[in-house]
Amino acid sequence: MKFSQLLCPTLKDSPREAEIVSHQLMLRAGLSQKVASGLYSYLPMGLRVIKKIEAIVREELDAANCQEVALPLITPASLWQESGRWAKYGPELLRFKDRHDNEFCYGPTFEEAITDMFRQSVQSYKALPVTLYQIQNKFRDEIRPRFGLMRSREFIMKDAYSFHLTEDCLDITYKAMEAAYHRIFKRCGLDAVCVQADSGAIGGDVSAEFMIRADTGEDEVLICQGCQLTANKEVIEKTNHCPKCNSTEFKSVRGIEVGHIFKLGTLYSSALKASVLSDLGKPTIVQMGCYGIGVSRTMAAAIEQHHDEKGIKWPIAIAPYTVTIIVTNMRDEAMVETGLALYETLKHQKIDVILDDRSVSAGVKFKDAELIGFPIQLVIGKQFSETGTIEYKERDTQDTINVSKDAIVGHLKTKLETSN
């Protein structure tokens, strides 16, 4: 991509509405824009980050034998009535009627819809276990949306649901999903912890949350000083001591909840009569698990965890572009030619690269590069004219080194390989 053609409206001043740093930076870096309270559009840069997170989620879930499906965003009231949640769910569930006066809701979560898909498709225990997932927009009419993408009403979420004949089998998948989640957040370059949690409105008996550590996080995580067990505040408040070692000493840290995994048991499968025939020919209600990841929230959390006073410091795996080539003087033909050639070379090597070919002053390009947070800057500037070298700079560490024009691609590739 050439920056001169890119829709990326960066701002010097932070809009008044944004208070926390991820919200400010996503607006300033031109990632996303507000449409109404709790509703946001993604601009090209923001969408690239989302797509990268989604790609990592897909790869890890597919590797864990999950299958991707797509359910409609809108669910008929009849399914929710069957589970009993039409009455239980509050105004957070956005309901409406179609022209025939049939009732529907925008899906905030999809246990009913997926269980319906399952019961229409599976009759035998031989098809189990099976785990289905989707990545799409969810809608929850939050009492108070806040902090931009951190708590929006429409948001992108990956939700997965597993079906099993036995609790033991559910247990195996639950643990496999926990492991997959650790890999996902690690690959995204995020420091996440898995904590014991309360299962809340979704129901079920066992659940764990994945928290990205950040001082601005909405949630409080308690770490047991006896055995290092991590749990969310609600769990400890209920029992007042560590459920594992009985210690009452805790250290408190703040976190952003980006994932939640549950063992649902037969909560929904019994309500919706999702059963299979066992090997004894006996109808058996299936065991279920469900597993969510807030994709758009993960993007916000990544900014909270990786930024400085200049802007965002994207982890390489989820950066909108890995490398930006900054040509400081667009009137200097040698610089322009070198920048373009380097850009073409990197593109052919399948490196995500953007060429800042705008006819603006060097300062603007530097500031934008720091703000948007491309992990690596390759600067073709005055040192190029003088010594024929290109400046290699890392956004995170600000480490800078001059590399000859001929060696720059090799240097970059070595750096990228060692950082993976």
Binding site for RNA (CB under 7 A): 9-17, 19-20, 23, 28, 34, 36-38, 92, 140, 142-147, 151-152, 155, 157, 200-202, 209, 218, 257, 260, 292, 294, 296-297, 310, 328-332, 359-364, 366-368, 370-371, 379-384, 391, 393
Residue 107 or 292 with smaller CB distance to RNA: 292
**Tokens found for residue 294:** 């807030």
In the bound state with RNA, the residue whose beta carbon lies nearer, of 52 and 260, is: 260
We find the least distance from the C-beta atom of residue 296 to RNA, in angstroms, to be 7
Shortest Cβ 92–RNA spacing (Å) = 7
- Largest interatomic CA distance in the chain: 82
**3-class DSSP state of 130:** strand
Q: Which two tokens stand for residue 292?
A: 């969510």
C-beta of 209 vs 304, nearer to RNA:
209
293 closest CA partner among 174, 209, 217, 381:
209
What's the min distance (Å) between Cβ of 96 and RNA? 17
What is the closest distance, in whole angstroms, from the C-beta atom of residue 420 to RNA in the complex? 25
Q: Decide whether 23 or 165 has the Cβ nearer to RNA.
A: 23
Q: Which is closer to RNA, CB of 125 or CB of 139?
A: 139
Q: At what angle do helices 408-419 and 333-348 cross, to 10 degrees?
A: 40
- How many Å apart are CA 377 and CA 231, to the nearest integer? 40
Compute the least distance from the CB of residue 87 to RNA, in Å: 16
Q: Cα separations (Å) of 57 from 49, 51, 184, 187, 294?
A: 13, 10, 6, 9, 11
Phi, psi of 95 (to 5 degrees): -110, 155
Instruction: Return d(Cα 218, Cα 225) in angstroms, integer.
Output: 22
- Shortest CB 218 distance to RNA, Å: 6
Q: Residue 228 or 387: which CB sits closer to RNA? A: 387
Q: Where are the beta strands (DSSP E) in 295-411?
A: 307-308, 311-312, 323-327, 353-356, 376-380, 389-394, 400-404
